[in-house]
Chains A and B, each alone.
Chain A
Amino acid sequence: SQQGEEDPQALSIQEGENATMNCSYKTSINNLQWYRQNSGRGLVHLILIRSNEREKHSGRLRVTLDTSKKSSSLLITASRAADTASYFCAFRYGGSNYKLTFGKGTLLTVNP
C-alpha cells in the first residue's frame, strides 16, 4: 500500500500547549498537504508544502518536509479547544494526476 503513516494515532494535550504530528510516505511526491476533519464532517485544507520546500508557516501552523527521510511534521502552536479534530497528511505521487493518498491520521484532543 502507498498509504502514508502518521504518528501519533492519538494525541491529547492541554490548551496552550503545542501539538506535533508526523507523517511518513514511501516514494517521491509532488507535494504534501495537511487536512483537518472535524468528527463526521468533510475535510478542510490547511496547508500545502511543495517537494522543493523545507518549511512553511500559516498562522499557528508550521509544516516541515524532509524529502530525504520522506517525512513531514505539522506543528500547531498555542493550541485551543477548537483545534480538536483529526489531522491527515495527504500527498500525490508522481504522475498520479490529481489523486491524493491520505495518511492514517492523528486524532488531536485539546482539553480546555
Chain B
Amino acid sequence: GAVVSQHPSRVICKSGTSVKIECRSLDFQATTMFWYRQFPKQSLMLMATSNEGSKATYEQGVEKDKFLINHASLTLSTLTVTSAHPEDSSFYICSANPYPGRTNEKLFFGSGTQLSVL
C-alpha cells in the first residue's frame, strides 16, 4: 500500500520558535496533501489542503501566516508553525491521496507529529 512518512514524530520547542513538519509520499506522487490537527481525545480537524505548485487552501479560522504550508514537489509537503506558543501544542497529521483524478478514495496518513511548546 501507499506509504506516507511524517517527520519528526515528536518535537519540543520553546515559545516563539518556529517548527517545520515534513510529510512525504514515499512510493507515489501526491498533487494534494492534507494537514490535520488533533487535540487529546478529540477528532481530527482539517487545517488546510496543500496543493503542489500552488497556494494551500486553508480552512476557516486557520491562520495562514501562523501555519505556513509549502508543497514544492509531488512527494513533499511541509507545515511550518511560526512563532509557536503553548496553545499550538497539538498532534499534527498529514495525509495524501495516491489515486490522482479519483477524488472519492481513501487517504493514507502519516504517523503524526506531537508538538509541545513550552
> Which residues of A are interface residues toward B (Cβ below 8 A)?
3, 30-31, 33, 35, 40-45, 48, 50, 88, 92, 97-105, 107
> Which residues of B are interface residues toward A (Cβ below 8 A)?
4, 6, 32, 34, 41-46, 49, 91, 93, 95, 97, 103-112, 114
Q: Which single residue of chain B is at the shortest CB-CB distance from A45?
A: B106
- CB pair B112–A100 under 8 Å, yes or no, is no
- CB pair B34–A43 under 8 Å, yes or no, is no
- CB pair B103–A98 under 8 Å, yes or no, is yes
- A106 CA to B91 CA in the complex, in Å? 18
- A97 CA to B95 CA in the complex, in Å? 14
Which B residues are in CB contact (< 8 Å) with A48? Answer: 105-106
- CB pair A31–B46 under 8 Å, yes or no, is no
- CB pair A40–B43 under 8 Å, yes or no, is no
- CB pair B43–A99 under 8 Å, yes or no, is no
- CB pair B107–A88 under 8 Å, yes or no, is no
- CB pair B111–A98 under 8 Å, yes or no, is no
- CB pair A3–B103 under 8 Å, yes or no, is no
- CB pair A98–B109 under 8 Å, yes or no, is no
